[in-house]
């Protein structure tokens, strides 16, 4: 009798977590991460990493980068995206260039600074079976300027770029990356303004079939609005009065203070795993092509 699909999904998740633990602690994986409980090999998965930028003590920064390098090498990650306000001036990106000048994995970084102009990027990759993955970086600060200035002029550059790219693509997976989180957990005046500022962006996501929006973490690390999954990178969490005011109960949010996200992509799903600076792996979520997720 064929095993239920949820058992296969759970087995795959446990296999990946255990294999990644071995990579981080023993240096080399002892078993292929593509193997399920039946020993079947799945060579069709692609990987990439996202990390939250910002200022860290140099030792912590170096440790995190070396950990990322080991994981990227072990899983043949296609690229790294640094979720940052500072763009190429982000200290994590600069230190990566200094420590690993000959690195072969491309690094991309978001930017979200007022007065710095529009800064966007597009990474298009073929995965397997002829499928494609688009990673689109946008300057979300320009959308927030609607809230700050009352004018939509500041968002026109990013908005037009995003619409043009999404309209032209026929990719199977469409992921947008920006710095600002778009999720609102509690309705108050400030949060209502944030929601209003980003509503046009959410409508673009819905119109053009965006699967995932990746950002820094706000009040929650995962949610779904319509057909779009919103995933926050919890690196460098600071004490947040708003989070405290709503009694944020997520153990994940309280304890995971630094690390990065490892994303696994295949024809059917995107699985996201959080790797802490201590090398601990936490399975986070799976987004399926049909709009279902497994927590």
The pLDDT of 244-257, averaged and rounded, is 42
Residue 288 pairs in a beta bridge with 269
Distance CA 39, CA 18 (A): 15
Are the C-beta atoms of 171 and 126 separated by less than 8 Å? no
Domain 45-294 falls in which CATH fold? Purple Acid Phosphatase; chain A, domain 2 (3.60.21)
pLDDT of residue 200: 85
Percent of the chain with pLDDT over 90: 28
Residues comprising the chain, all counted: 295
How many Å is the Cα radius of gyration of the chain? 19
> Residue 206 pLDDT more than 70?
yes
Place of tokens 């991309």: 108
pLDDT top residue among 187 and 259: 259
pLDDT of residue 218: 76
Residues of the chain within CATH 3.60.21.10 domain(s) are 45-294
The pLDDT of 89-112, averaged and rounded, is 81
pLDDT of residue 165: 92
Side-chain-facing half-sphere of 275: CA atoms under 13 Å: 30
Question: What does the block give as tokens for 269?
Answer: 């799903």
State pTM to two decimals: 0.77
pLDDT of residue 263: 94
Average per-residue pLDDT in the chain?
75
Are the C-beta atoms of 40 and 88 separated by less than 8 Å? no
Confidence of residue 150 (pLDDT cuts 50, 70, 90): low
pLDDT of residue 86: 85
Distance CA 277, CA 50 (A): 14
Tell me: the pLDDT tens digits for 18-61? Answer: 666 555 554 444 343 333 323 343 567 899 999 998 888 999 99
Distance CA 40, CA 119 (A): 43
């Amino acid at each position: 009798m064929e095993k239920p699909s949820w058992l296969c999904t759970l087995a795959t998740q446990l296999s990946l977590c255990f294999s990644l633990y071995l990579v981080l602690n023993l240096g080399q994986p002892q078993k292929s991460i593509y193997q399920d409980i039946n020993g079947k090999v799945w060579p069709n998965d692609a990987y990439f990493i996202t990390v939250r930028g910002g200022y860290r003590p140099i030792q912590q920064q170096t440790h995190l980068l070396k950990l990322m390098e080991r994981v990227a090498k072990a899983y043949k990650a296609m690229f790294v995206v640094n979720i940052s306000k500072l763009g190429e001036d982000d200290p994590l990106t600069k230190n990566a260039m200094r420590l690993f000048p000959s690195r072969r994995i491309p690094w991309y970084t978001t930017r979200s600074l007022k007065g710095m102009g529009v800064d966007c990027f597009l990474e298009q990759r073929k995965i397997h079976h002829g499928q494609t993955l688009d990673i689109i970086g946008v300057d979300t600060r320009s959308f927030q300027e609607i809230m700050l200035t009352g004018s939509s002029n500041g968002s026109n550059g990013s908005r037009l770029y995003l619409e043009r790219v999404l309209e032209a693509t026929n990719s199977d997976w469409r992921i947008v990356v920006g710095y600002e989180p778009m999720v609102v957990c509690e309705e108050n005046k400030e949060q209502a303004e944030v929601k209003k500022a980003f509503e046009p962006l959410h409508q673009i996501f819905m119109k053009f079939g965006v699967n995932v929006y990746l950002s820094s973490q706000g009040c929650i690390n995962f949610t779904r609005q319509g057909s779009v999954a919103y995933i926050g990178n919890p690196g460098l969490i600071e004490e947040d009065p708003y989070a405290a005011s709503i009694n944020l109960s997520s153990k994940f949010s309280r304890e995971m203070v630094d690390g990065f996200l490892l994303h696994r992509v295949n024809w059917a799903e995107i699985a996201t795993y959080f790797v802490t600076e201590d090398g601990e792996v936490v399975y986070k979520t799976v987004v399926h092509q049909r709009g279902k997720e497994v927590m």
